[in-house]
Chain A
Amino acid sequence: MQLVFTIIIFSFLSITISGQTKVSGKVVDSNDQPLPGANVFIKDSYDGISSAEDGSFLFTTEEEGEAILVVSFVGYKTKEENIFLKSEDINIKFVLEEEAKELGSVVISAGSFEASDERKGVILRPLDVVTTGSDADIYSALETLPGTQQIGETEGLFVRGGSSAETVTIIDEMVVQKPFYTSVPDIPSRGRFSPFLFKGIVFSTGGYSAKYGQALSSALVLNTEDLADQTLTAINLMILGLGGAHVQRWANSSFAIEGAYYNLSPYFNFIDQRPEWDTAPVGIEGSTNYRLKTSKTGILKAFGSISYGDFALYTENLDDLSKKDFTRVKSDNYYSNINYKEILGDDWTLFAGASFSLDQDRFELNTDKINQDEILNQARVNVSKQIFKSSFITFGGEVQNAIYKNNLNGMQLDLNELFLAGFLEADIFFTNDFAARLGVRGERSKVLDKYNIAPRISLAYRLGTYDQINFAYGRFYQTPFKDFLFQTTDFDFENASHYILNYQYISDERTFRIELYYKDYNKLAKGTVFTYPYLNLPPVPFNNDGSGYAKGIDIFWRDRETFELGDYWLSYSYLDTKRDFINYPTLATPTFAATHTFSAVIKHWVPAITTSFGLTYTFASGRPYYNPNNPEFLGDRAKTYNNLSLNASYLLTILDNFTVIFFSIDNVFGFNNIYSYNYSTDGAVRRPVLPTADRAVFLGMFISVGQKSPF
């Protein structure tokens, strides 16, 4: 009995009375640099310490026997080491490996600009898009980035020598048939989709992903917001019209509805307009969206929008100055998109979506009546699977059915396109510093009865903590514009090859980027079609014999550090391009290409008056214009373009309702900008193509009903 007791006592003592073991060592990264602040501890005990300034650690433990020593640190992979504790000092050196995708791993980014709230190291924030330029339009904000042109006489993104038809807009992975409201020559229209709809924007000025196609130059990829943050009612009063919105948020879903009415005639009475308006633009638009969180990782999104617009104006007939041409345009646009995304087990991600759009334009040109209907049905599936730790492959396919109907005074032309595409893309992180995106895309067009295979490669190599070099190559195909296909479908795909070399430095607050590119165009469609950038030239036969090139340098600098409450960015583009396409008689620099483009954006927040100011200056050297009297085709240059626009957002609370008053004015200094010149067919009469007004002014008041404070 006593023996038993003694044994028990002793066994107990052997547990409690233990020797102390000194555990020491050093924590370093893969470059042998010390890592201070790492947590070094013995698993399942409290014993441990944070590593010191020089990465060293030293602590004592009373644990005995086999144990696991753990080192964990933000941004690094946790490391464990088996040790045996028996009063003898232990000294261990830990080399921690950086966790991929965390701060400071290489990012595949050649050719693209990204705006996001969620990702780090992006160039823009979605709010920048709203507060840049003068009209809260996504496209005008993107025109302050290098690689884009300042084209005032028509809408669209003209990227690196490409026409606006070479840029595709994608919303939630699906192509948008008509991203802009319908316009007429020399009077640009706006983008149809509000920047507030999107949480992420990737603007690629070249070398974009194999997921997308049908754009020779550029892809603008927009991702819509997930669930709305909160329930909210908003009222918008503008000098151009009025609108309202209501957003309802439930635990796992949200619903939003929004509508607006525009009428520009009061504004036109107030600001002198150059065009002779018969009916100032009026429009009604509405949109609705629904979001449902189907699980922790799954989300279903549905979006629908509808709009109606009408305007009419008179333009001078340069061939007969006694006459005026009358144009009226009535448009109906309908767009809807539904998609579902879910992370399935075993690192699989599924995306499936479908969209439908219907766009109807009714043109009256003097006595002619032209009706254009476009229907686009599409569906897409993307599947991605993580392979190894940080690499993944994505594959999928899309199908698009486009139906075009053109009716000129009762004469009907129909076109029915069935377009299929499939892609496979792998993002491979060889090391933390070296990554590659390898992709291939195949497309088939029923109307052309042709297919194509397009390889895409993008490489990124990190030089230091903040800087990296990128290289991209890709081949891009595009079906000739529908106006060609109405004439003959005996066409092949147009194509372009991109070569991009880029260096970028992105720190917390500063970004510098320089990109060199070369673009080789082949099989461009030739023939006479009467849409932009049509020139009044003798007809040419339809064929695929066009070609061209574009090369240049894009430079971007953004600095959020130098000024405490301010932020600015500068962009410069140099472009050398020539092409032979549409009805051009020879290779020439097209009308939408300026050699030098510069822009500066400055933002400053003044807390004392709770106002944010934004200033945007843009400069472009003169662009070529067609002068029938000059034997050198497109040998003339318009004058340089200058614009300084200013905007201010004043934030306040009116009767407990949070309110933003937004004011903007473009061309503050009233520079006389001439975009181009139009000539009569015989070359005897010429008229400059001018902005529709010397200055555009906007004033609006946006009220969030019942929302007291933004902070």
Chain B
Amino acid sequence: MKLLLSLVLIFFAFAGAQTNISKYEKAMKKNLTKINETNDVTSMLNIANSFERIAFAEKDKWLPYYYTSFMYVLAGFADTTAEKTDSYLDKADLFINIADSLQESDSEIYTLKGMIAQARMQVDPMNRWMKYGAESTKNFNTAMKLDTLNPRPEYLKGIGLYYTPKQFGGGPKTAKPLFEKSLEKYNQFQPENDLMPDWGRDIVEQLLEQINKDLIDENLKPGE
């Protein structure tokens, strides 16, 4: 009897934990699928809000904080007014720092930190490149060191270079090797589980295509 009771209790405790895990996974997955379907600021912020709700309920998990921050960065890139962009990025900073405190020295977290700096620079490149250009490069380099298999730091660093004028050592030609390396890593990349960051591959492929076109155009230009 006693044995049975404790067995039952253990079973329920286990079942309870299991329902909890699946609830977390279910909620996370639901949000993750939504990310791919969004391209306007309002729905990005709505997804950020729902990741934030998970983050507040699951205080010791870093991924919900990471994705909340990620959504605010995307909103920051998508928004066009400086004042709002900065306020979104302030939020992104807040959440990535919490993620950083829960999961120390994670390559994905440093990648996102670099991306936040990129978004900040984009607001006012003339005035901000000195500070945020250095900051994003620093974070991408750290991210590469922390996980040599992570394809995202190369991809984002490549984007930065791609949009940098050729006169400053940017442009498609310089960016290409980074994208190629990133794609190579994407081909090997296997996220630890379904919830881990696994984004960017499509864009790298698209951009590589675009770069190849750019380079052909450039070669066709007379005098080049």
| Interface: B27 (CB within 8 A) | yes
Give the chain B neighbours of A36 by CB distance below 8 A.
42
Q: In the complex, which residue of chain B has the Cβ closest to the Cβ of A4?
A: B5
Q: Which of A125, A229, A508, A612 contacts B134 (CB 8 A)?
A: A229
Q: Which of B27, B52, B129 contacts A711 (CB 8 A)?
A: B129
| Interface: B21 (CB within 8 A) | no
Is A37 touching B42 in the complex (CB atoms < 8 A)? yes
| Interface: A653 (CB within 8 A) | yes
Q: Which of A5, A75, A229, A709 contacts B164 (CB 8 A)?
A: A709
Interface residues as binary, B117-141 with A (CB distance below 8 Å gives 1, 0 otherwise): 0000100111111110111001000
In angstroms, Cα B87 to Cα A308, docked, is 47
Give the chain B neighbours of A711 by CB distance below 8 A.
121, 125, 129, 133, 160, 163-165, 168, 170
| Interface: A127 (CB within 8 A) | yes
Give the chain B neighbours of A197 by CB distance below 8 A.
none
**Known: A46-B53, A709-B161. Contact between A125 and B127, CB under 8 A?**
yes
Give the chain B neighbours of A125 by CB distance below 8 A.
124, 127
| Interface: A43 (CB within 8 A) | yes
In angstroms, Cα B86 to Cα A45, docked, is 29
| Interface: A412 (CB within 8 A) | no
| Interface: A445 (CB within 8 A) | no
In angstroms, Cα B141 to Cα A230, docked, is 14
Is A117 touching B86 in the complex (CB atoms < 8 A)? no
**Known: A46-B53, A50-B49, A711-B160. Contact between A653 and B91, CB under 8 A?**
no
| Interface: A1 (CB within 8 A) | yes
Q: Which of A1-58 contact B (CB under 8 A)?
A: 1, 4-5, 8, 12, 16, 36-37, 39, 41, 43-50
**Known: A41-B53, A74-B88, A709-B170. Contact between A229 and B131, CB under 8 A?**
yes
Is A651 touching B167 in the complex (CB atoms < 8 A)? yes
Q: In the complex, which residue of chain A has the Cβ closest to the Cβ of B15?
A: A12
Is B168 touching A43 in the complex (CB atoms < 8 A)? no
In angstroms, Cα B105 to Cα A626, docked, is 72
Is B133 touching A653 in the complex (CB atoms < 8 A)? no
Give the chain B neighbours of A607 by CB distance below 8 A.
165
Q: Which of B4, B81, B126, B127 contacts A1 (CB 8 A)?
A: B4
Q: In the complex, which residue of chain A has the Cβ closest to the Cβ of B135?
A: A229
In angstroms, Cα B168 to Cα A49, docked, is 45
Is B167 touching A44 in the complex (CB atoms < 8 A)? no
**Chain A nearest CB: distance from B39 CB in Å?**
16
Is A710 touching B129 in the complex (CB atoms < 8 A)? yes
Give the chain B neighbours of A41 by CB distance below 8 A.
49, 53, 56
Among B53, B86, B90, residue most surrounded by chain A Cβ atoms (within 10 Å): B53
Give the chain A neighbours of B127 by CB distance below 8 A.
117, 125-127
| Interface: B1 (CB within 8 A) | yes
Give the chain A neighbours of B134 by CB distance below 8 A.
229-230
**Known: A50-B46, A117-B128. Contact between A710 and B8, CB under 8 A?**
no
Secondary structure of the B contact surface, majority rule: helix
Among A8, A47, A50, A652, residue most surrounded by chain B Cβ atoms (within 10 Å): A50
**Chain B nearest CB: distance from A375 CB in Å?**
36
Give the chain B neighbours of A710 by CB distance below 8 A.
129-130, 133, 164, 168
| Interface: A483 (CB within 8 A) | no
In angstroms, Cα B107 to Cα A511, docked, is 42
Is A230 touching B138 in the complex (CB atoms < 8 A)? yes
Give the chain B neighbours of A605 by CB distance below 8 A.
126
In angstroms, Cα B72 to Cα A74, docked, is 11
| Interface: A658 (CB within 8 A) | yes
**Chain B nearest CB: distance from A201 CB in Å?**
14
Q: In the complex, which residue of chain A has the Cβ closest to the Cβ of B124?
A: A125
| Interface: A656 (CB within 8 A) | yes
Q: In the complex, which residue of chain B has the Cβ closest to the Cβ of A710?
A: B129
Interface residues as binary, A89-116 with B (CB distance below 8 Å gives 1, 0 otherwise): 0000000000000110000000000000
Interface residues as binary, B187-201 with A (CB distance below 8 Å gives 1, 0 otherwise): 000000000000000
| Interface: B57 (CB within 8 A) | yes
Among B86, B130, B167, B169, residue most surrounded by chain A Cβ atoms (within 10 Å): B167
Is B167 touching A48 in the complex (CB atoms < 8 A)? no
| Interface: B83 (CB within 8 A) | yes
Is A508 touching B81 in the complex (CB atoms < 8 A)? yes
Is B169 touching A656 in the complex (CB atoms < 8 A)? yes
Is A12 touching B12 in the complex (CB atoms < 8 A)? yes
In angstroms, Cα B55 to Cα A303, docked, is 45
**Chain A nearest CB: distance from B163 CB in Å?**
7
| Interface: A708 (CB within 8 A) | yes
In angstroms, Cα B94 to Cα A74, docked, is 12
| Interface: B54 (CB within 8 A) | yes
Is A652 touching B167 in the complex (CB atoms < 8 A)? yes
In angstroms, Cα B81 to Cα A265, docked, is 49
**Known: A1-B1, A39-B52, A45-B57. Contact between A709 and B8, CB under 8 A?**
no
In angstroms, Cα B50 to Cα A607, docked, is 40
Q: In the complex, which residue of chain A has the Cβ closest to the Cβ of B86?
A: A120
Interface residues as binary, A70-92 with B (CB distance below 8 Å gives 1, 0 otherwise): 10101100000000000000000
In angstroms, Cα B169 to Cα A653, docked, is 6
Give the chain B neighbours of A229 by CB distance below 8 A.
130-131, 134-135
**Chain A nearest CB: distance from B44 CB in Å?**
10
| Interface: B144 (CB within 8 A) | no
Among B9, B133, B135, residue most surrounded by chain A Cβ atoms (within 10 Å): B133
Interface residues as binary, B6-31 with A (CB distance below 8 Å gives 1, 0 otherwise): 00110010000001000100010000
**Chain A nearest CB: distance from B53 CB in Å?**
4
In angstroms, Cα B210 to Cα A390, docked, is 51
In angstroms, Cα B134 to Cα A600, docked, is 33
**Chain B nearest CB: distance from A172 CB in Å?**
20
**Known: A117-B131, A229-B131, A610-B165. Contact between A46 and B5, CB under 8 A?**
no
Q: In the complex, which residue of chain B has the Cβ closest to the Cβ of A53?
A: B42
Interface residues as binary, A525-559 with B (CB distance below 8 Å gives 1, 0 otherwise): 00000000000000000000000000000000000
Among B50, B126, B160, residue most surrounded by chain A Cβ atoms (within 10 Å): B126
Q: In the complex, which residue of chain A has the Cβ closest to the Cβ of B4?
A: A1
Is B45 touching A103 in the complex (CB atoms < 8 A)? no
Is B88 touching A103 in the complex (CB atoms < 8 A)? no
Q: Which of A631-666 contact B (CB under 8 A)?
A: 651-653, 656, 658
| Interface pairs (19), CB distance under 8 Å | A1-B4, A8-B5, A8-B12, A16-B19, A37-B46, A39-B53, A45-B53, A45-B57, A46-B27, A74-B87, A117-B128, A230-B134, A610-B165, A612-B126, A658-B169, A708-B169, A710-B129, A710-B133, A710-B168
Interface residues of B (CB under 8 A from A): 1, 4-5, 8-9, 12, 19, 23, 27, 42, 45-46, 49-50, 52-54, 56-57, 81-83, 86-88, 90-91, 121, 124-131, 133-135, 138, 160-161, 163-165, 167-170
Q: Known pairs A70-B56, A710-B133. 12 more at Cβ < 8 A? A: A1-B4, A47-B53, A48-B50, A72-B52, A126-B127, A230-B134, A610-B167, A651-B168, A653-B168, A658-B168, A710-B129, A711-B170
